A = this chain, B = another copy of it.
Amino acid sequence: MPRPSTPLLSPGRIRSVALAIIDRDGLDGLSMRKLAAELGVQAASLYGHVRTKDQLLNDIASTVLSAVDVSGFEVDWREGLIRCARSYRAALLTHPNIVPFLAYGPAGRDESLQRLDLLHGALVDAGWSRREATMIAAGLMYIVFGAALSSFSSGFSSDPADYVDRYPHLDRAHLLPGVARELDRDSFELALAAFVRGL
């Protein structure tokens, strides 16, 4: 079936279906063939709209991270940090399966750097030295990414019973999905508050 009357594919549609697959089947669950099938198309056709799978993942990551809010700095730098961290975490939490991909480094993601640049500038404007600003921004990212990665809910909530016997101090209650999610949030808020207060 050659060129259809109305195009079946577009970068946007590809990205959104790919993200849906990642959300449903995990990061390893996304393959170009599966993505193509879900779009009603053959795998090779994707390469007319997407340069490479890695680039596609980077684009998806960028759109996911576009929900990060860096507007709070106009009020107060502390408020800006907290709001930025919270919205960052919220964005990652909406699509947790893409987080492992981000772990490979912000190599080609332009918007991440742009955001980092803005955050850095705001801190400098607030009176911090360039070096301090860099370190503070880095520390904030540590907490955000650390929280997104080593979370209790996604980490090891598969079969609580296995853990209880061998790790006496890890309460089984911690591993119940509902509690785990709440615990993740509270741990994040604790770390964030301690960090910002300690500056």
Q: Are A167 and B135 in contact (CB under 8 A)?
A: no
User: Does A154 lie at the interface of the complex (its beta carbon under 8 Å from any beta carbon of B)?
Assistant: yes
Binds B, one of A7-15, A17-25, A62-70, A114-122: A114-122
Q: Are A149 and B103 in contact (CB under 8 A)?
A: yes
Q: How many copies does the complex hold?
A: 2
Query: Once bound together, how far apart are the Cα atoms of A174 and B120, in whole Å?
Result: 12
Q: Which residues of B contact A71 (CB under 8 A)?
A: none
Q: Which residues of B contact A107 (CB under 8 A)?
A: 155-156, 158
User: Does A198 lie at the interface of the complex (its beta carbon under 8 Å from any beta carbon of B)?
Assistant: yes
Q: Which residues of B contact A144 (CB under 8 A)?
A: 146
Smallest CB separation, A71 vs chain B (Å): 17
User: Does A93 lie at the interface of the complex (its beta carbon under 8 Å from any beta carbon of B)?
Assistant: no
Query: Once bound together, how far apart are the Cα atoms of A114 and B167, in whole Å?
Result: 6
Q: Are B170 and A139 in contact (CB under 8 A)?
A: no
Q: A157-185, CB under 8 A of B: which get 1 and which 0?
A: 01000010011111100100000000110
Q: Are B150 and A145 in contact (CB under 8 A)?
A: yes
Smallest CB separation, A14 vs chain B (Å): 23
Q: Are B188 and A142 in contact (CB under 8 A)?
A: yes
Binds B, one of A29-37, A41-49, A189-197: A189-197
Between-chain CB contacts (< 8 Å), 22 pairs:
A103-B103, A105-B150, A106-B150, A113-B163, A116-B170, A117-B168, A120-B170, A121-B169, A124-B169, A130-B169, A131-B183, A134-B171, A135-B186, A138-B152, A139-B143, A139-B190, A142-B146, A142-B187, A142-B191, A143-B146, A149-B149, A198-B198
